[in-house]
Amino acid sequence: MDWYGELTQRVAARYLREHGPMSEGARRELLGAVAADVDSFVDDPADRAFALVAQAQAALAKASADDEFLSDDEYMASRARRLERLCAACDEALSIDPGATDAALIRLLATEADALEHVTALRALDGRLGAEAQAEEPGPADAWADVFRRPALRVRAALAVTALDAANVSMALGCARSLLDVMPGDELGMGGTAALALARLEDEEGFNELDARLGRRGSAWTNLARTLLLFKLDRLPAARRALAGFRSLNEGAAYALLRPTYVETYLPCRPEFVPGSFEEAVLAVHEADPVVVDAPDFVNWASEQPGVLDDAVAFARSNGMDW
């Protein structure tokens, strides 16, 4: 996500709150001035804390980019250092603003713990934020449009993804659906999380309703989830067609499925990706792992379908990847 872009929106929105309504021209001028030098406008403790998180995320992304050619041991040491610096930045942000939700969320997710422990902690944080929100004035119908509500939305999205990983499928589905209810643009990608949860539950009717709600726009998540759902329902011809859809939509999808790639913990959101890219397929396969585990023959079946293995091998060879 664009942390600095969101910081600019936060600072400008707070300035508008404090200085009353402005003409559209004055508002555009303000946004341009804030974007050009956001640091000079940051004076509220909450925004100072958010700025520290934005800086930490930029430093994390820069450091991560240098890890590609490290050995496994060097990578793990580098990762530990990166997380230590990130946690220190979050602690500093929380010392400035104890209510810094993003800092608390990232700090929680960066702590070494299993998925069940993270679910428990995320539920507590989500519950506290929900209670606080009930005491506030209602915001816009599209929750994402209120920049100050986004941290709480990210907490619930993290809970949805983590709950699915912990095999608490009903919680994952409930959280994802609740976010889709208030975020019609699905900026946090909860349609994909809900699709995987419905595949795990073998709920074809629910999946079809979700697909219609999402405008039947295919993604790596929905195509893979549909394939898994139909496989689990023993509708193999339809599953083969869905698998073909997954392969045709995403570059290297067959390789991503047959050779799952390590994905770091989301801190806190799903990384950005280009639709139809190999990166999208890798993320979808990563998040689908709890569903795949529940269908242990799925990957072997997929590898036996016409063209799948050939596609995977060809992609690996053309991109210098191991096979």
Compute the distance between CA of residue 290 and CA of residue 168 in angstroms, rounded to an integer: 10
Digit-coded pLDDT (tens) for 147-187: 999 999 999 999 999 999 999 999 999 999 999 999 999 99
Q: Check residue 190 and give its pLDDT.
A: 98
43: left (phi over 0), alpha (psi -120 to 50) or beta: alpha
Positions of the chain with pLDDT under 70: 135, 137-138
Give Cα 96 to chain centroid, integer Å: 26
pLDDT single digits (tens) 183-221: 999 999 999 999 999 999 999 999 999 999 999 888 999
Residue 137's pLDDT is 66
Cβ contact 49:96 at 8 Å: yes
Eight-class DSSP state of 262: P
The pLDDT score that the predictor gives to residue 154 is: 98
The 10 Å Cβ neighbour count of residue 47 is 21
Is the four-CA dihedral 135, 139, 142, 145 of positive or negative sign?
negative
User: What is the reported pLDDT for 135?
Assistant: 66
Distance (Å, rounded) from C-alpha 260 to C-alpha 255? 8
pLDDT at 290: 96
